[in-house]
Structure 1
Amino acid sequence: MKALITAAFDEQTLSLLRPCLEVTYEPYRKTGKIYHDADEFIEKIRREQAEVLVVEADLVHEEVFEACPLRVVGCCRGDPLNVSREAANLRGVPILYTPGRNAESVADLTIAFMLCLARNILPVNLGLRSGKIRFEGTRDILRVFDRYGGFELGGCTIGLVGLGRVGRRVAERLRPFGPRILGYDPAVPEEALREIGVEPVSLPVLLESADIVSLHAALTPESQKMIDEKALSRMKPTAYLVNTARSFLTDEKALLKALREGRLGGAALDVFDEEPIDSENPFLELDNVLCTPHLGGATRDVVKRQSEMIAQDLLRYLNGERPYHVWNPEVLPPL
């Protein structure tokens, strides 16, 4: 059986698949190729005679399933929305996926953002590099201490919006610092939050109380733009917003306006309405905003983790066993 893998995959894990699959490995991170055009992707799959397909960013929609005799599709994402579940179900094709593959990495970046904001690392570094921060006497030193000294995480209140895989890991990482941790997630029982050291509160209370608000909610019709102008107005004028989840959890225009008008202390953003972010993005004009280009899940550890998850489930499926992570379990035989 032949397999086409365009996702980033760990070479050592690939070696586990080669004894039972004839693998064509063309990772998009090296080729720079993401298949958005169905006809082009169909031609590629047919040329490789692939029955097993493993993707990360390529679009696997109705046309692909209709034209290609796929037996199983693996998607190296926690939300395989680029693969048509309906089309797969019509043909009985299981979609393997990787829930939580990037939770550790995103949680790490979230903590890094919080520390950068709390200690003014970005503006201090930029000030030193540009020459705006100079020390010509004792007054200059004291002025920098007063302006950029910042605060300890242990002495502040941090609000986590969403306590799923990432939010819980952020809470775990925060506990040794010693802050008061507030949490809002209507899908998680309050007792479960208390067990991990998080104080359950309503969203308004969280926004009004937190020195740092960090977003980790799933994007749903209910959560879209949950941090709108009204929500932002509840936050302290010295508070910071961190978003390593989905940009559409916020109203970007309202957030930009609040930051420009000094109604927030600042923000750290890894996600944007229009991606990839470019130099014209207005958030880059603001000294109190730290931006990264959706790097939360881009570590080499995530590649290894997603590879192992997909490979393990592929081997189980090919051996007649039930995979652990199936996006559409309804296509599998009942337990």
Structure 2
Amino acid sequence: YFAHPDLNATNFGLYDQIKALEWVQANIEQFGGDPDNVTIFGESSGGASVASLLVSPLTEGLFDRAIIESMPLGLASSQNVTMEEAAPTGAALGVAMGFSEDDPDQLKKMKDVSFQEVLLTPGSDQFATILIDGDSMETDAITGFVEGENHKVPVIVGSNANEGGFQYNTGSPYPVLIAGISPAFSQYVPVNTSENYEGFVRQLFGSDAKKVLSFYPADTPIESGESMLTDSFFTVGAQIIAEAMANRGEDVRMYHFTQKPGGPAGDMLGAFHGSELPYVGISSDQYAVPVVNPLLVNQMSSYWTNFAKTGDPNAEGLPQWDSMPASASDWFVLGPEVGPAAIPKEKLNLFKPTIVADYLNGP
């Protein structure tokens, strides 16, 4: 989010979402809705927004349930960057746009520049994903869940089996996701050779690289890279949230989506980032994913709809999906087979003292 020395607020996108939820509380009855039965859900960056809303002190009582799909870990954690620490980045963007940092009207002049021109300015993508402003966010989402500061509402959280396959070979968009951990990532792009892949892993994980390479070996760089990025930047974030909630006895369900789409995309990329969306009733002409399992469409859309209505995804004719107990060893697989299966904790736990520590403690 944008911050600047002349601003006394940040996280403007999050405030927009909060304002929308406040509007729902104030007005939805006039449209036949129930302000006491509100479910929020989002995918990818939307999932990170939902996670942030779940720990924001400004959203207590604004919703009753939440669904987090394919949340990138880096977008749900800020390395606890404050608004004051991020402000120089905003001023630097103004300089890159041609406005002196000493100009008292720098911010006003930046506002007059078109959105398209801003996006084309070098440095426009260098902002922290969420800022600790002491108002909308007192801590980042991951820390909030770990420390039990999340709102006590039922949650579904999960990710796809092959999130890291999407654009892995070119390294995009992963330089954005891991910039806070490995600024030197670009020297290893494309990560499609054993040498580049191993260098990337060593840069990313430091002293833990040997353990990571034992699970994700360098002799199969593309397959290992996809799997490692899936687990370290998507799966482990969902695992942290689900385990933290379950261990406190809160109502949470964790899914793992494994259904490959039809066509070449499924053969090449597997259950990639966003490929679950048609199965929960969301599709786009710009992001068409061939559906090959109509039964799963009915099952997942029913789970999501039932959960939104009542907080319980189950219904007659559906495989039973229970809340996770404390110290749970299973997640709920949604794919050609539907039901509980063992969480691969041994390899996922590799990332908790590495990436998670880096995100929570800062550089």
- Scaled by the length of structure 2, what TM-score is found? 0.22
From the CA coordinates, give the structure whose radius of gyration is larger.
1
TM-score between both structures, scaled by the size of structure 1:
0.23
More helix by share: 2
Query: Which of the pair is proportionally richer in strand?
Result: 1
